[in-house]
Amino acid sequence: MRQASFERTTSETSIKVDLDLDGTGKYDISTGIGFLDHMLEQLSRHSLMDLNVRAEGDLHIDFHHTTEDTAIAIGEAVSKALGDRAGIARFASATIPMDETLSRVTMDLSNRPYLVWKVDFSKPKLGDMDTELFKEWFQAFAQGAGMTLHVENFYGENNHHIVESCFKAVARALREAIEVDPRKADAVPSTKGVLGGSL
């Protein structure tokens, strides 16, 4: 039962996350940021991870704290649900098209957080959301989940499509990386016998 809950409360936000890595892609998400809700729904649906998120934040200031703290909380819940990460595939990659856009995500659930972000936007805003916040989301998610994460957009014109293809690619790669290999279900996928720390 790879399920976990995580709560994060600060002077800026209050976040509660419940997830099931072995779900069917059901979601119930409310962050107060419509576009972020839409992206987290994509994350759930395409990873098959059941995801419930409740977030309240200082949206009267801007969307930064809620965006970042939601990513931290989801990442921490993923890490908690994975436990010692025994048996998982660990590495995965997904390349996702969305109309004129093509994006690729490659990940390693190494317990060594790192983000490589090669995504550019043509506008500073997507609806009411600053496009620079998407890098912050992926950075915080990688940090919380203990994930090396490379996100690349090869080409695209529509900023909505670019962001959505990145979230869908993360979802598909995550779905593959967390799968348990029955040949090594009891073994941590590292010659060190533990994930994390130095190379």
pLDDT confidence of 185, banded at 50, 70, 90?
A: low
pLDDT, mean over the chain = 93
Place of tokens 């080409």: 155
Whether the pLDDT of residue 77 is over 60: the answer is: yes
- Residue 48 makes CB contacts below 8 A (sequence gap 6+) with 22, 23, 24, 25, 175
Looking at residue 88, what is its pLDDT? 93
Looking at residue 198, what is its pLDDT? 45
Looking at residue 199, what is its pLDDT? 43
pLDDT confidence of 190, banded at 50, 70, 90?
A: low
Q: Which residue did the predictor score with more confidence, 167 or 1?
A: 167
Position 84 in a domain: yes
Whether the pLDDT of residue 186 is over 90: the answer is: no
Position 59 in a domain: yes
Residue 92 belongs to a domain with what CATH number? 3.30.230.40
Of residues 55, 81, 199, the one with CA closest to residue 144: 81
Position 19 in a domain: yes
Position 194 in a domain: no
Whether the pLDDT of residue 66 is over 60: the answer is: yes
Looking at residue 75, what is its pLDDT? 98
Domain count, the chain: 1
Position 198 in a domain: no
Helix axes 132-145, 159-177, angle to 10 degrees: 10
Supply the pTM of this predicted model.
Answer: 0.93
Looking at residue 176, what is its pLDDT? 97
Position 191 in a domain: no
Position 145 in a domain: yes
Looking at residue 184, what is its pLDDT? 72
User: Quick count: other Cβ atoms within 10 Å of Cβ 116?
Assistant: 12
Of residues 196, 179, 165, the one with CA closest to residue 88: 179
153 forms beta bridges with 103
Looking at residue 193, what is its pLDDT? 59
Position 190 in a domain: no
Q: Which residue did the predictor score with more confidence, 1 or 89?
A: 89
What CA–CA distance (Å, rounded) separates 29 from 52? 6
- Show the CA angle centred on residue 61, arms to residues 56 and 115, nearest 5°: 75
Looking at residue 196, what is its pLDDT? 65
List the domain range (segments joined by +) for residue 88.
3-184
